[in-house]
Chains A and B, each alone.
Chain A
Amino acid sequence: MTALLELRRVSHAYGEQRVLNEVELSIGAGEFVALIGPNGSGKTTLLRCLAGIINPQSGSVHIDGIDINTDPFAAKTRLGFGVDPTLLPSLLSGRQTLGMFASARGLAAVPESTLKLAEALAFTPWLDAEVRSYSLGTRQKLGILLGLIGEPPLLVLDEPLNGLDPLSAYALKQHLVGLTRSQGTAVLLATHALEVAERFITRATLLVEGRLVREWNTASLDTIRHDPENSLEQVMVEALAAGGRQAQT
């Protein structure tokens, strides 16, 4: 079976600062993966590389078997990427922005599933207001809705839970889990909010100084969940400390 996302030895640097170092990652259909790591570990750069926003200096990114460098259009039709809230068109309304993104994906109108998610996120009252009147959390919701529009098979979200109220965060997680189970959607979520991601993810991977240093599969995550003396947060903090030491040596 072809992996929905496959990164092969992806490296990138800003000037002399090496941010990603031969990163290898593969995500299959129906997987819900959390990408964790300290600030400045390269998470956002990695996500921007796999979305084709920046070209990695070496290595390749394949989405559903398609090299994003060779055929970015076909690769991006299979990818949904949450939009940075600071980039949203402030003068358009939420509905207009959704309409614009729907037509960019070749859809005749905003899909019903997106409007349903908007309702679940309590975004509906904001649909006809201009984006510039939105709070950070409301902008975040719109950015997520834009990423999920058309429900492509691979969803990539960068810190989507930032600024969301608990009800909306829960609704979003339920929706994402529903997509992974019903449609086999693969989700990659960069997050710091381990306690909120813990119950939903099927795999977690730790990025430290541009390297994926550790991974927890479903079985090891289940073991941690069932150990009352332990928590995912605790395990990951220990791994972060060990990862940092490893990266320094």
Chain B
Amino acid sequence: MRPSFFHPWLTELALIARNSVRDLFRHWAQSLLHGAAWSMLGTLVLLGLLRIDGDRFGLVLRLLIQQPTVTTLVFAAFGFALTRAAILALADELREGCWGAMPVSGAATQRTLILATVVFAACAGLVVAGLLCLVALTASHWRDWFASAIVIMPGGLMLGAMAGCFAANRVHADRRPKRIRVGSSKPLVSLPGLNHPKLNFFAEWQRRELLRRWRSGGRIGQFAFLLLLIPANDGLSTMLGLLIVGLSLIWFGLALRASEDVIVGGTAVFAAMPLRFERFAAASLRYPLYALLGTIACSLIGLRLQQAPLLICAIYAVLLTSLAGLSLVLCWRYRHSAWRARARMPAETALLAVLFQQFGPAALALLAALLLRHYHVARVTR
């Protein structure tokens, strides 16, 4: 048998694409309707984007290209992280998935991974270039930044993507079995009071999920970005304050995401159990609430170190609590289909921002009503 040049996974992709096209023609009326709807939506989005003052974005882009090394590095890091994760996932799928036991040469797999990287990097570069062109279309002073930005940003991204592919290939080539580090998610300090007596260890599950993600380098990209934001010429207390606020926010983001993922996992595990939603909600609220209080306390220290007035501190705490509350109730409401919560969160945040702009603190009442509404729907959802 002659070994194939590429991995047969590409044939699988081609067959899937062919089936999808066939389905489009088979359900032609539905396809036509979807096509029309997407075209209308795309036109609306494009019209909306064209009304944006591109020179505001242009100003930011101009500032970025004035520091070409840092900007290239940031985009390269982004491309590296994205590509490494995607190529590693694909490599794992090829090794351990349905193709795992098939006679496919290592060289064919390697070539396929490189091809996937080239396509992935080219797509990512095209998306960035497309966004830059869109901003240039809506800006009058686009000549000031466009030529440099179109080289630096997609270029940095693609460089990072190539490095990411190289790093992923090295990891993939290491065929030693993965070691499971048992106990790597074990908390250093036990918090026995954290667990809800009527759903013991649920908070522990959330906490361990956070610890596993944090210790395996979750959100390290955000941390690197935070370090880039710290001004070098400010006082020590200001720098320290910014670091505390940023770090606690990054940690809380991860804690909230881990807690929510455990809520979704717990929903599936307890599906056949006689567990009332109220009790489940009370138990699953404990850890995120503890994380929120810890984050607010740390952030307030950080803000005070930056000489922020008390009013700003209070607004910060209210905003953080509101956003965390909204994220959590959306997660409860859509605990059977988490992507809905993820999709609604930015939309409802934007809505709340508009409400706060229009009504000021009175919008808090509307927020409370929204939270209650989501909680009520979550309670009656089975």
Q: Are the CB atoms of A91 and B200 closer together than 8 Å?
A: no
Using a CB-CB cutoff of 8 Å, which residues 75-124 of chain A contact chain B?
75-77, 79, 81, 83, 87-89, 91-92, 96-97, 99-106
Q: Are the CB atoms of B268 and A73 closer together than 8 Å?
A: no
Tell me whether B204 is interfacial, beta carbon within 8 Å.
yes
Enumerate chain A residues within 8 angstroms of B272, measured Cβ to Cβ. Answer: 51-53, 76, 79, 81, 83, 156
Using a CB-CB cutoff of 8 Å, which residues 141-197 of chain B contact chain A?
180, 182-183, 185, 197
Tell me whether A231 is interfacial, beta carbon within 8 Å.
no
Give Cα A100 to B269, complex, Å: 11
Enumerate chain A residues within 8 angstroms of B382, measured Cβ to Cβ. Answer: 52, 55, 72
Contact A92:B201 (CB < 8 A) given known A104-B273, A104-B275: yes
Tell me whether A199 is interfacial, beta carbon within 8 Å.
no
Tell me whether B205 is interfacial, beta carbon within 8 Å.
yes
Contact of B270 among A104, A106, A130, A133 (CB under 8 A): A104
Tell me whether A127 is interfacial, beta carbon within 8 Å.
no
Q: Are the CB atoms of B268 and A76 closer together than 8 Å?
A: no
Give Cα A72 to B197, complex, Å: 22
Enumerate chain B residues within 8 angstroms of A129, measured Cβ to Cβ. Answer: 182
Central interface residue in A74, A79, A92, A104, by most chain B CB within 10 Å: A104
Give Cα A92 to B185, complex, Å: 9
Q: Are the CB atoms of A103 and B200 closer together than 8 Å?
A: yes
Give 1 or 0 for each of A43-85: 1 = CB within 8 Å of chain B CB: 0000000011101000000000000000011111101010100
Contact of A92 among B204, B270, B273, B276 (CB under 8 A): B204
Contact A103:B198 (CB < 8 A) given known A96-B204, A130-B182: yes
Tell me whether B360 is interfacial, beta carbon within 8 Å.
no
Contact of B265 among A51, A72, A87 (CB under 8 A): A87
Contact of B201 among A79, A96, A106, A130 (CB under 8 A): A96
Using a CB-CB cutoff of 8 Å, which residues 264-321 of chain B contact chain A?
265-266, 268-276, 279
CB distance from B255 to the nearest CB of A (A): 14
Tell me whether B260 is interfacial, beta carbon within 8 Å.
no
Interface of B: prevailing SS: loop
Tell me whether B208 is interfacial, beta carbon within 8 Å.
yes
Q: Are the CB atoms of B276 and A87 closer together than 8 Å?
A: no
Tally chain A residues at the interface, Cβ within 8 Å. 33
Enumerate chain B residues within 8 angstroms of A81, measured Cβ to Cβ. Answer: 272-273
Give Cα A77 to B239, complex, Å: 56
Tell me whether B199 is interfacial, beta carbon within 8 Å.
yes
Central interface residue in B198, B199, B271, B279, by most chain A CB within 10 Å: B271
Enumerate chain B residues within 8 angstroms of A75, measured Cβ to Cβ. Answer: 274
Q: What residue of chain A has the Cβ atom nearest to residue B280's Cβ?
A: A104
Give Cα A97 to B268, complex, Å: 14
Contact A103:B197 (CB < 8 A) given known A72-B382, A89-B205: yes
Q: Are the CB atoms of A132 and B180 closer together than 8 Å?
A: yes
Give Cα A67 to B208, complex, Å: 37
Q: Are the CB atoms of B197 and A92 closer together than 8 Å?
A: no
Give Cα A195 to B202, complex, Å: 39
Give Cα A132 to B183, complex, Å: 10
Enumerate chain A residues within 8 angstroms of B262, measured Cβ to Cβ. Answer: 89
Q: Are the CB atoms of B198 and A91 closer together than 8 Å?
A: no
Enumerate chain B residues within 8 angstroms of A77, measured Cβ to Cβ. Answer: 274
Contact A92:B205 (CB < 8 A) given known A72-B382, A104-B199, A133-B180: yes
Enumerate chain A residues within 8 angstroms of B279, measured Cβ to Cβ. Answer: 104
Task: List the 4 shortest-distance A-B pairs measured between CB atoms, nearest first.
Answer: A81-B272, A76-B274, A51-B272, A91-B208
List B residues at the A interface (Cβ < 8 Å): 180, 182-183, 185, 197-202, 204-205, 208-209, 212, 262, 265-266, 268-276, 279, 382
List A residues at the B interface (Cβ < 8 Å): 51-53, 55, 72-77, 79, 81, 83, 87-89, 91-92, 96-97, 99-106, 129-130, 132-133, 156
**6 new A-B pairs (CB below 8 Å) besides A51-B272, A132-B180?**
A53-B272, A74-B274, A89-B266, A99-B200, A102-B200, A156-B272
- The 26 listed contacts between A and B (C-beta, < 8 Å) are A52-B272, A55-B382, A72-B382, A87-B265, A87-B269, A89-B269, A91-B185, A91-B208, A91-B209, A91-B212, A92-B204, A92-B208, A99-B200, A101-B273, A102-B200, A103-B197, A103-B198, A103-B199, A104-B198, A104-B273, A104-B275, A105-B273, A105-B274, A129-B182, A130-B185, A156-B272
